[in-house]
Structures are given as structure tokens and as C-alpha cells.
């Protein structure tokens, strides 16, 4: 889609597209957040999976999500957000149905691959749609709305999902989520059938913009500096954070899910305030990046000290919430990578940093699962494996090292002041 060839639709028409897109993104983020973290124990007891296999369930989603971002970004720029969602939405729905119906790990992996590929189309397509109606002045506010919808799905994936899994079969709950995704997809399809979409861009698909993007050293710097914070938060929230609270702190599944819920609520509230944060910093991108990287490092070091000194559970809960706060302005990195490149890569640049974000998550996920299994562990009363404090200390140590490196890189970035550097 291009704002130069597509006039702004009426408010009603805009909402008819924007609201179901937000709902699909919300539900796709639920898939990303709730699986496998919230049902970690159920996957062990019901499906008979170990920590490495559960890590593969997570990484199979994230790998395909991450690696598809560049290609999807090129497709979105070429064909427009609505057309790409019409294809990606089918994959998302099919994968969302296949995973809970699967009886073997291999089919579970395949379901997550389809879900990740379909989910990978939603964020970039929604950004492209927003580009039709929001100029740069309001872009941060619009981006905050998108993140709010995503993190709302993350909220549902914590305590509400854990509570439902306690009273109902987790497979049935996921099938209902798949049905809701299908309904939202139908709404987008009906919009596409009733409205004339802008024609695809005349320029052929080309890798030249990508080559230009990757040759820019600042592209790599901002992608690493902003996304290590996100990766640390993500693996804590969705992979082993809830399990750690149960194993080390002795919290029940409900109490642990409440801590994860508090993390997600914190991220949701702060993400929705992205526009306000940008105004407070006078549209400077570098100070918030340095601030969040510093806080992320301090929080992880605090959690390591809490393990060594056997702090009470409320200290870990506080650390979790502060970790969420340190990651909640990830949208700042999205805007910064756009501004460090040219305007004609406004969709491709976020695609690249989104790819790096989940590659970092994947790079952490399997090694962390291996770390947990490498130390002595035993079967707990619930039937799930209980991992050693030394295993968790090793995991947090890896995260702390990455956080320290991201802080160093953040100091090396130039300031954009909310404008494209090429246009200054």
C-alpha cells in the first residue's frame, strides 16, 4: 500500500480493518507468550516432553518467525499489508488448530512452524496499514496502540490462561483461541472483498534495499542494543520464568502465573505510553535505549544475587516486574532503526530488527534448555522436573553477559532526534 495511491478511508472503514488486525495480532502474541511457558508442566505430564523438546516447541515458532521477517517485509512493501495478511492469516489459523490436536512432538513442531510463519505477517502488515493514516508526528502513539494490543494477548496468556488450564483441557482452550483467530481473519477478508485495495507497487521485488540496510553499521548496532533487552524479558516471561518461580521460590502455578501477569501488565501499560515517553525525551532515541539497557543489566544481576543469598519470593517478583519495565520501550528501537536508514525502507527496517529480536530469543532458548537439563534435577510432586539453583544461576549469567554487551553498543549509537538522518 502506498499513501500516494490510496486515499484515506472513512473512520468506519478504517476501524473495520484496524480492529480485526489488532485482534489477530493480540491472539498471535498470545500464541507467542503462552506457549510453552504457561503450559510447561502440562507439556511434560500430558505430552511427555522434556525441557529440550519444550524449548524446541518455542524455538520452532521463533526461528521461522524471525527468518521470515525480511521476506515478509519485502512482500508487504510490494503487495500491501491486507494482501499479505490474507495469506499469512490462513497459516496462522491452520497452525493454531494443528498444535493442540497434535499427538507427537514432530506434529507439534510443525504446527508451531505454521503458526510462527503466519504470525510473522501480522505486525509488519499492520504497520503498513497504519502508514496510510498516521504521519511521523503521531507514529509513536499509533505504534503504542499496536504494542498495547499485543501485550494484552500476553496478559491473557499468563494467569487467565493458567487458570483456564487448571479447570479445562489446555488443548480445548487453544482450539477456542484458534476459532477466535479465524473469526478475526474473516473480518479482514470481508473488508478486502468489499473495498478496492491499492494496486501492488510497480517496482519489482529487489534485494537492493536489503543490501543497503545491512551495509549500514548502525542497523546492526541498534538491532542488537534494543533487542537484547527484549530477548531477556521474553525468555523470562515465556520460557523458564514461571518454572523458576515454582522450582526455586516454591510458588504454586497460580502464584507464579500472577507474577508473570504482573510483568505483562507492566509492559502493556508502558508500551501504550510510548508516545508520551518520546515527548518527555524530546524525541531523542538514544537516552531511553541506554536507560533500558542499564536497568535490564541491573535487574538480572539483582536476580542472581537473590538466588545466591536466598531472598524471599517477593524480591524475585519485584525483579520480574522491573525486567518488564526495562523492556517495555522496544518500540523506540523500531523507530530508531527507521531513522538511521532511509524512508524508502520504512517497512524493511522494522522487519530486520524484528528478525534480530527473535533470532536472539532463539539463540538463547535452546542453550538455556540445555543448561537446565545439564545440572542435576528430579521429578517433583506434580510430575514435572525440578531444576537446580545452579542451573538457573548459569542461565541468568548468560543473560547478564548479553545485557552488559548491549549497554556498550547503545552508547555507540548516534542520536536521530526523531528524524531520518538522511533528511537532516
**Angle between helix 331-339 and 217-235 (nearest 10):** 170
Rounded distance, CA 130 to CA 136, Å?
11
Question: Cis before residue 36, ω within 30 degrees of 0?
Answer: yes
Q: What SS3 class is residue 358?
A: helix
Question: How is the chain split into domains, by residue range?
Answer: 11-196+206-423
pLDDT, one tens digit for every residue, the chain (424 residues) = 444 445 666 667 777 888 899 999 999 999 988 888 788 888 888 888 887 888 889 888 888 988 899 999 889 888 888 899 999 999 999 999 999 999 899 999 999 999 999 999 999 898 888 776 655 566 677 778 888 898 889 888 878 898 899 899 999 999 999 999 999 999 999 988 887 777 787 777 888 888 999 999 999 999 999 999 989 998 888 778 888 898 888 888 888 888 988 888 888 888 777 777 777 888 888 998 999 999 999 999 999 999 999 999 999 999 999 998 887 677 788 889 988 988 777 778 888 988 888 788 878 877 877 888 888 777 766 666 778 888 889 989 999 999 999 999 999 999 988 787 766 5
Q: What SS3 class is residue 315?
A: helix
Rounded distance, CA 160 to CA 257, Å?
9
Q: What SS3 class is residue 377?
A: strand
Phi, psi dihedrals of residue 375, rounded to the nearest 5°: -90, 160
Q: What is the DSSP string of 247-296?
A: HTS---HHHHHHHHHHHHHHHHHHHHTHHHHHHHTTT-SHHHHHHHHHHH
Q: What SS3 class is residue 378?
A: strand
CATH number for the domain formed by residue range(s) 11-196+206-423: 1.20.1250.20
Q: Which residue has the cell 504482573?
A: 262
Beta-bridge partner residues of 387: 377
Q: Find the distance separating the first CA and the last CA of the chain, reported in whole Å.
A: 26
- Give the cell for residue 80: 500491501
Q: What is the pLDDT of residue 1?
A: 40
Rounded distance, CA 24 to CA 21, Å?
5
Closest CA to 128 of 201, 195, 31, 66: 201
CB 231 within 8 A of CB 346: no
Rounded distance, CA 22 to CA 32, Å?
15
Amino acid at each position: 500500500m502506498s499513501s500516494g495511491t490510496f486515499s484515506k478511508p472513512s473512520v468506519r472503514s478504517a476501524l473495520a480493518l484496524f480492529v480485526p488486525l489488532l485482534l489477530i495480532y493480540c491472539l498471535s502474541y498470545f500464541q507467542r507468550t503462552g506457549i510453552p511457558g504457561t503450559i510447561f508442566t502440562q507439556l511434560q505430564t500430558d505430552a511427555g516432553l522434556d525441557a529440550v523438546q519444550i524449548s524446541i516447541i518455542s524455538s520452532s515458532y521463533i526461528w521461522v518467525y524471525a527468518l521470515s521477517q525480511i521476506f515478509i517485509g519485502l512482500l508487504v512493501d510490494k503487495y500491501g499489508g491486507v494482501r499479505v495478511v490474507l495469506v499469512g492469516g490462513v497459516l496462522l489459523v491452520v497452525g493454531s488448530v494443528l498444535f493442540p490436536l497434535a499427538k507427537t512432538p514432530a506434529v507439534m513442531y510443525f504446527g508451531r512452524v505454521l503458526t510462527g510463519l503466519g504470525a510473522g505477517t501480522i505486525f509488519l502488515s499492520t504497520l503498513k496499514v497504519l502508514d496510510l493514516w498516521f504521519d511521523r508526528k503521531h507514529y509513536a502513539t499509533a505504534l503504542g496502540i499496536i504494542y498495547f494490543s499485543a501485550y494484552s494477548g500476553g496478559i491473557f496468556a499468563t494467569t487467565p490462561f493458567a487458570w483456564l488450564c487448571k479447570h479445562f483441557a489446555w488443548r480445548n482452550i487453544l482450539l477456542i483461541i484458534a476459532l477466535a483467530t479465524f473469526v478475526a481473519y474473516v473480518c479482514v477478508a470481508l473488508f478486502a472483498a468489499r473495498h478496492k485495495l491499492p494496486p501492488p507497487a510497480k517496482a519489482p521485488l529487489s534485494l537492493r534495499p536489503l543490501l543497503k540496510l545491512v551495509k549500514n553499521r548502525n542497523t546492526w548496532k541498534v538491532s542488537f542494543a534494543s533487542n537484547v533487552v527484549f530477548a531477556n524479558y521474553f525468555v523470562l516471561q515465556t520460557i523458564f520464568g514461571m518454572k523458576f518461580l515454582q522450582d526455586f521460590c516454591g510458588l504454586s502455578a497460580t502464584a507464579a502465573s500472577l507474577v508473570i501477569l504482573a510483568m505483562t501488565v507492566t509492559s502493556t501499560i508502558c508500551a501504550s505510553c510510548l508516545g508520551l515517553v518520546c515527548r518527555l525525551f524530546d524525541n531523542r532515541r538514544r537516552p531511553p535505549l541506554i536507560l533500558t539497557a542499564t536497568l535490564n543489566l541491573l535487574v538480572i544481576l539483582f536476580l542472581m544475587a537473590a538466588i545466591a543469598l536466598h531472598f524471599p519470593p517477593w524480591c524475585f517478583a519485584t525483579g520480574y516486574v522491573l525486567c518488564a519495565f526495562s523492556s517495555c520501550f522496544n518500540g523506540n528501537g523500531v523507530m530508531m532503526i527507521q531513522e538511521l536508514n532511509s524512508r524508502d525502507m520504512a517497512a524493511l527496517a522494522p522487519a530486520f530488527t524484528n528478525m534480530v529480536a527473535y533470532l536472539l530469543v532463539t539463540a538463547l532458548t535452546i542453550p538455556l534448555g540445555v543448561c537446565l537439563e545439564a545440572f542435576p534435577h528430579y521429578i517433583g510432586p506434580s510430575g514435572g522436573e525440578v531444576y537446580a539453583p545452579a542451573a538457573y544461576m548459569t542461565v541468568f549469567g548468560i543473560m547478564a553477559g548479553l545485557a552488559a554487551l548491549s549497554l556498550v553498543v547503545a552508547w555507540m549509537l548516534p542520536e536521530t532526534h526523531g528524524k531520518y538522518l538522511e533528511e537532516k
